[in-house]
Amino acid sequence: MDPALKLENQLCFRLYTASRLITQAYHPLLSKIGLTYPQYLVMMVLWENDGQKVNDIAKRLYLETNTVTPLLKRMEAEGFVKRSRGAEDGRQVIVSLTPKGRKLEQEAGCIPYKMGGAVACRSITQETAPGLFATLDDLIGHLSKL
């Protein structure tokens, strides 16, 4: 067998597994505040900068707008965000936090700290995390251009 075809030699499998397990670890924390992991990502984007275009949110999350739009509709139905037409261009949809969505930021404040403790291991510490982030950012930047 070609060693390149062995599962143990695949970076993609490690990244997929790590991503799936991290998302699984987020689940109990996010369910307490009524969010799914993709909704949490949208909320973090809006907590950083409220009142964004759907296209900008999708771009920031490396997703297509047709993936983000149904997610935003559910979030609007749950009262976390509101969608409105852009004043300058009625074709654009602007997404803004509702008071309920803004309040959720306080409730979510402990999640990064709890997850930081959950992912800490021999090779990922406060000291090594920035290097890991830089490596992953480089990989994401490279792959997003393909």
Alpha-helical regions (H) of 32-89: 37-48, 54-60, 65-77
pLDDT of residue 123: 86
As a whole number of Å, the CA-based R_g of the chain is 18
Q: And the tokens for 86?
A: 């852009």
What are the sequence ranges of the domains in the chain?
A: 3-144
136: buried, middle or exposed (CB in 10 Å: 19+, 13-18, 0-12)? exposed
pLDDT of residue 32: 96
pLDDT band of residue 116 (cuts 50, 70, 90) is confident
Angle at 74 (CA atoms; ends 109, 42), nearest 5 degrees: 40
Which amino acid is located at 75 in the chain?
M
**Is the pLDDT score of 79 beyond 90?**
yes
Pick the residue with more confidence: 79 or 88? Answer: 79
Q: What percent of the chain lies above the pLDDT cut of 70?
A: 100
Angle at 42 (CA atoms; ends 37, 44), nearest 5 degrees: 90
Average pLDDT (42-48) is: 98
pLDDT band of residue 44 (cuts 50, 70, 90) is very high
pLDDT in tens, 20-31: 999 999 999 999
Topology, domain 3-144: Arc Repressor Mutant, subunit A (1.10.10)
- Enter the pTM of the model: 0.91
pLDDT band of residue 91 (cuts 50, 70, 90) is confident
